[in-house]
Amino acid sequence: MLLNELSAADAARRIAARSLTSEALVEACLERIARRDGEVHAWAYLDRERALAEARLRDREPARGPLHGIPFGIKDIIDTGGMPTEYNSPIYRGRQPKGDAACVALLRRAGCVILGKTVTTEFATNHPSQTRNPHNAAHTPGGSSSGSAAAVADRMVPLALGTQTGGSVIRPGAYCGAAACKPSFGSINRAGLKFVAESLDTIGVFGRSAEDLALALNVLTGRGLAEPVAATSRPRIGLCRTPRWRDADGETQANLERAARQLAAAGAQVSDFELPSGSQDLFDRHAVVMGYELARALAWEHAMFPEQISTSLMPRIEAGWRVTRTEYDEVREIARACRRRLAERSREVDFLLTPSAPGAAPASLASTGDPVFNRAWTLLGVPCVTLPFGSAASGLPLGAQLVGAFDEDMRLLAWAHWAERELAAR
């Protein structure tokens, strides 16, 4: 196995055992990027010399944390000191923030090495970026964390940060065949993040495995790793088709039901799970909340540089200005009520199993795909994990999404680790 293909957990174990240096790992990643990024376009900015210099520093000191010396990609919507942060908008070309966002500072503090900035779609919204799906360059990688998903899936870097406001972590993770986690709202500090919709924007992580994601969340949230799930355990899984099941294509429906059967064969008690009343609204009216906040968050850009805003984003901003405060407050109130109801219902199951996306990555670069199976969970603030599972007839990866109870991120990742093993074994 090439060094750039190591999972973060394996690489960290080797670094801790002094059988691998951070420098060699960073070099392997940089070589992979040099070889592949001309096709994938996952990176907005790289500072090879700084990354290597920092890796050498990390190699000379005692471990600061469980991911000491591990390279990270940072979505270019998150501030980084000494590296530009441009939000993939011409308005911000050449912008150099003074310092690191809180999440980046936390990674550095724990000994991680920031490799560079991964491509975001424009302001982390829907206008397609230059990034291609690493499995097939004619397909979208999804968005808005396009670069982070593609870079991790293409073995350019073991871990990367993304953000999700609608479906921007879970969907590109599934499309590219990476594991990814959007933790609970409030899990990872957002100071230094450019806001799209502040009541929704959630920082998340892409990695090779549930174990990698758990290590990253341990560093980023300070929460301890959950006890591993015993091989003999019989989780209660809620199979949640959601009110939008018909939006999933046949492959996705069959694939998710196959995942449920495999987990049942591994000992799980699988039952159908219907979301609490009112949840339908969250699927239908997420755009009310996102649009209202988006228009305000980008009010300055919209007023000053309308001609530098893409033709995808402009109508969304304009729609956002048309949302009334009453309508916005109403959907927020529905979301709060649904959060309470779902929290009560969450005791019935250990986790939910639900589609990550309506299908594999579409054969198009004109759209980043549909976040229909992500938006309601973002609005509910609950933790979500996508695991690569199965593949489409096109050869592109499919995924399965696990959803946990609010603030139980680490418990969900322990179940995801169990599910990943059982899904691979059968």
Among 407, 413, 422, 423, binds a second copy (CB under 8 A): 407
95 binds a second copy per the rule CB under 8 A: yes
Would you say 179 and 209 are in contact if contact means Cβ atoms under 8 Å apart? yes
- Total residues contacting a second copy (rule CB under 8 A)? 45
From 13-21, 112-120, 297-305, 306-314, span contacting a second copy (CB under 8 A): 297-305
Q: How far is the CB of 109 from a second copy (least distance, A)?
A: 6
105 binds a second copy per the rule CB under 8 A: yes
Taken as a whole, the chain contains a residue count of 426
Q: Which residues pair with 400 in a beta bridge?
A: 355, 387
Alpha carbons 159 and 211: distance in angstroms, whole number:
11
- Which residue in 395, 403, 17 sits closest to 177, CA to CA? 395
108 binds a second copy per the rule CB under 8 A: yes
Alpha carbons 57 and 52: distance in angstroms, whole number:
9
261 binds a second copy per the rule CB under 8 A: no
Percent composition of the chain: helix, strand, coil (DSSP 3-state, to 5): 45, 15, 40
Q: Encode 179-205: b = buried (16+ Cβ within 10 Å), e = exposed.
A: bbbbbbbebbbbebbbbbbebbbbbbb
Would you say 356 and 170 are in contact if contact means Cβ atoms under 8 Å apart? yes
From 138-146, 322-330, 356-364, 375-383, span contacting a second copy (CB under 8 A): 322-330
276 binds a second copy per the rule CB under 8 A: no
Q: How far is the CB of 143 from a second copy (least distance, A)?
A: 20
Q: How far is the CB of 254 from a second copy (least distance, A)?
A: 39
Would you say 341 and 327 are in contact if contact means Cβ atoms under 8 Å apart? no
Report strand pairing: 269-272 vs 236-239. Answer: parallel
Q: Which residue, 83 or 259, has its beta carbon nearer to a second copy? A: 83
Q: Which residue, 24 or 343, has its beta carbon nearer to a second copy? A: 343
- The site map against a second copy for 63-82 (x = CB under 8 A) is ------------------x-
Q: Which residue, 5 or 329, has its beta carbon nearer to a second copy? A: 329
297 binds a second copy per the rule CB under 8 A: yes
Among 104, 114, 153, 423, binds a second copy (CB under 8 A): 104
Residues serving a catalytic function are: 75, 144, 168
What is the secondary structure of 309-377 as a DSSP string? S-TTHHHHHHHHHHS-HHHHHHHHHHHHHHHHHHHHHGGG-SEEEEESSSSSPPS-SS-----TTTHHH
Q: How far is the CB of 301 from a second copy (least distance, A)?
A: 7
324 binds a second copy per the rule CB under 8 A: yes
Q: Which residue type does 256 have?
A: L
Q: Where are the beta strands (DSSP E) in 3-80?
A: 43-46, 71-75
Helix (H) or strand (E) holding 99: none
Q: How far is the CB of 194 from a second copy (least distance, A)?
A: 8
Alpha carbons 269 and 229: distance in angstroms, whole number:
15
- The site map against a second copy for 170-209 (x = CB under 8 A) is ----------------x--xxxx-xx--xx----------
The alpha carbon of 344 is separated from its chain's Cα centroid by a whole number of angstroms, namely 26
395 binds a second copy per the rule CB under 8 A: no
388 binds a second copy per the rule CB under 8 A: no
- The site map against a second copy for 211-250 (x = CB under 8 A) is ----------xxxx--------------------------
From 88-96, 151-159, 206-214, 261-269, span contacting a second copy (CB under 8 A): 88-96
Residues 340-369 within binding reach of a second copy (CB under 8 A):
340
286 binds a second copy per the rule CB under 8 A: no
Among 15, 67, 106, 335, binds a second copy (CB under 8 A): 106
Alpha carbons 391 and 317: distance in angstroms, whole number:
36
303 binds a second copy per the rule CB under 8 A: yes
Would you say 242 and 353 are in contact if contact means Cβ atoms under 8 Å apart? no
Q: Which residue, 37 or 281, has its beta carbon nearer to a second copy? A: 281
Alpha carbons 150 and 140: distance in angstroms, whole number:
10
- Residues in the site for a second copy, rule: CB under 8 A? 81, 91-92, 95, 98-102, 104-106, 108-109, 186, 189-192, 194-195, 198-199, 221-224, 293, 296-301, 303-304, 324-326, 328-329, 332-333, 340, 407
